[in-house]
């Protein structure tokens, strides 16, 4: 589907079709229109189309009198760190995250170094769609400053947040799969700084993915085999912009992304108890872990910006999403695979346990997912029918409809922003229970649709 997807956090599309340098430049101009005077950081992941889009974005910004800090290839969380460290008014990351190689996209950051909140993003979106752009602030164009070292500031923050000496003493053998994205530049530096014996797969950030870029079990079978054969204590698997992290344990077992957040939350709470925030589609594991530690737990609507909003409101010590996106406020309010790696290693070193044992002591649930075609005008009726049918569940309308049962089972129904469908997510103690609940929900929705 050749469609430019525009959201409140940015846009994405197929390069040369829906996403062209001209479109990227206009979107950057709309962003600039909504910003106060000041510098803007521009970064990109390793995709081959990145330099062309970055040049167009820089031209659009400097043509309107803006000064651009060009950081080249850098991870999404690193972009947030740079915005804050350099006192910029905003940041632009060029990446399509886990989408296929023919895609690229733009993610926007505000002056706080976080992905822009929905209200700010909506202003940019409206400015772009309405063709509003910032007029030049002077008769002379701005300039582009090339940043030579984009990773040290981020590295220093992470090393200041964990016990480097304790981790270094273990000299962990580690496999890092960056899959030719932005992650290896800081990933190798970080792991070597933590005393690890590092092997990196896909180290060159050229976007020539060795496997489908989303770090799921089916895409990482080859990496899991290499981890097992190499004797790695852990394999860390990043997505192309390095804001998500999947884990493979010492036996070559794909642990997955849900457990990345759970392991990190359990470790952080053991050191610094405090509130925890996840989105409403994240596994109940994290909620159970918060209860074990006796700390408040909060759900947010789906979306990184929503998680961050709730974290700030709750004063959370950690938060994130079940797709392997850990947000540690000590570093930056952005999903961050690098602090995730450091926290996992610190947990292993502190407990004296392998990753597999840390995972096996956590609560275990099964998630079943489905999608149902529903005309947009029938979605409210479909959600109402579900709420009326499942009378023993507690309903929450913060993001679509979430139903929670006393036995810990939950069902989330969310309308897609881009398709006339409703997505169903159910988590239960067994796959049979989760699948059965989803089938029942589908049957309830069918007459309404």
Helix axes 337-351, 184-193, angle to 10 degrees: 20
Would you say how long the chain is, in residues?
449
Q: Are 331 and 156 in contact (CB under 8 A)?
A: no
- Lay out the sheet containing 325-327: strands in order across: 297-300, 276-279, 318-321, 325-327
Longest dimension (CA), the chain: 67
Burial of 223: CB neighbours in 10 Å, binned 0-12, 13-18, 19+: buried
Phi, psi of 120 (to 5 degrees): -70, -40
Active site residue 56: no
d(CA 119, CA 122): 5
What are the CA-CA distances from residue 439 to residues 188, 245, 250, 393, 435 (Å)? 45, 31, 36, 16, 6
Quote the DSSP letter at residue 178: -
- Report the b/e string of 59-88 with b at 16+ CB within 10 A: bbbbbbbbbbbbbbbbbbbbbbbbbbbbeb
Helices (H) and strands (E) in the chain, counts: 15, 21
Helix axes 76-85, 152-159, angle to 10 degrees: 90
> Can you spell out the DSSP letters for 336-391?
-HHHHHHHHHHHHHHHT--HHHHHHTS---EEEEEEEE--GGGHHHHHHHHHHH-T
What are the CA-CA distances from residue 359 to residues 247, 255, 257, 354 (Å)? 10, 8, 12, 9
Q: Which residue(s) pair with 61 in the sheet? A: none
Q: Which tokens go with 267?
A: 């470790």
> Of the residues 97, 281, 283, 300, which is catalytic?
97
> Which of 207, 188, 205, 206 lies closest to 197, judged by CA?
188
292 in helix, strand or coil? helix
Question: What residues are labeled active site?
Answer: 97
């Amino acid at each position: 589907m050749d469609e430019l997807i525009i959201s409140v956090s940015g846009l994405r599309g197929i390069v040369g079709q829906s996403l062209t340098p001209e479109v990227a430049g206009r979107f950057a101009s709309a962003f600039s229109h909504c910003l106060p005077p000041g510098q803007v950081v521009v970064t990109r992941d390793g995709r081959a189309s990145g330099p062309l889009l970055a040049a167009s974005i820089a031209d659009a910004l400097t043509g309107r009198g803006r000064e651009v800090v060009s950081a080249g290839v850098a991870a999404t969380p690193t972009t947030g760190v740079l915005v804050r460290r350099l006192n910029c008014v905003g940041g632009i990351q060029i990446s399509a995250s886990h989408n296929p190689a023919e895609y690229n996209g733009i993610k926007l950051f505000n002056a706080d170094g976080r992905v822009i909140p929905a209200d700010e993003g909506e202003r940019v979106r409206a400015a772009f769609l309405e063709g509003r752009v910032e007029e030049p602030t002077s008769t002379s164009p701005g300039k582009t400053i090339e940043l030579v070292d984009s990773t040290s500031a981020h590295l220093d923050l992470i090393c200041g947040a964990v016990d480097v000496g304790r981790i270094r003493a273990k000299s962990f053998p580690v496999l890092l799969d960056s899959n030719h994205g932005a992650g290896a530049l800081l990933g190798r530096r970080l792991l070597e700084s933590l005393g690890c014996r590092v092997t990196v797969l896909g180290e060159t950030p050229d976007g020539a993915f060795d496997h489908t870029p989303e770090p799921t079990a089916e895409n990482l079978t080859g990496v899991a085999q290499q981890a097992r054969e190499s004797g790695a204590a852990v394999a860390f698997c990043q997505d192309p912009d390095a804001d998500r992290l999947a884990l493979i344990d010492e036996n070559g077992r794909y642990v997955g992304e849900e457990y990345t957040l759970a392991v990190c939350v359990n470790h952080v709470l053991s050191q610094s108890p405090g509130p925890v925030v996840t989105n409403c589609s994240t596994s109940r594991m994290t909620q159970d872990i918060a209860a074990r530690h006796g700390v408040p737990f909060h759900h947010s609507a789906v979306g990184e910006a929503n998680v961050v909003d709730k974290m700030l409101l709750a004063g959370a010590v950690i938060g994130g999403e079940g797709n392997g996106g850990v947000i540690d406020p000590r570093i930056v309010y952005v999903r961050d695979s690098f602090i995730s790696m450091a926290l996992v290693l610190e947990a292993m070193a502190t407990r004296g346990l392998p990753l597999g044992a840390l995972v096996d002591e956590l609560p275990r649930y099964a998630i079943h997912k489905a999608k149902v075609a529903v005309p947009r005008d029938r979605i409210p009726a479909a959600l109402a029918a579900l709420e009326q049918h499942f009378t023993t569940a507690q309903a929450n309308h913060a993001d679509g409809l979430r139903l929670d049962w006393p036995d810990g089972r939950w069902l989330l129904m969310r309308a897609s922003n881009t398709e006339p469908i409703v997505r169903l997510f159910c988590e239960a103690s067994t796959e049979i229970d989760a699948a059965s609940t989803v089938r029942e929900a589908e049957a309830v929705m069918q007459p309404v649709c």
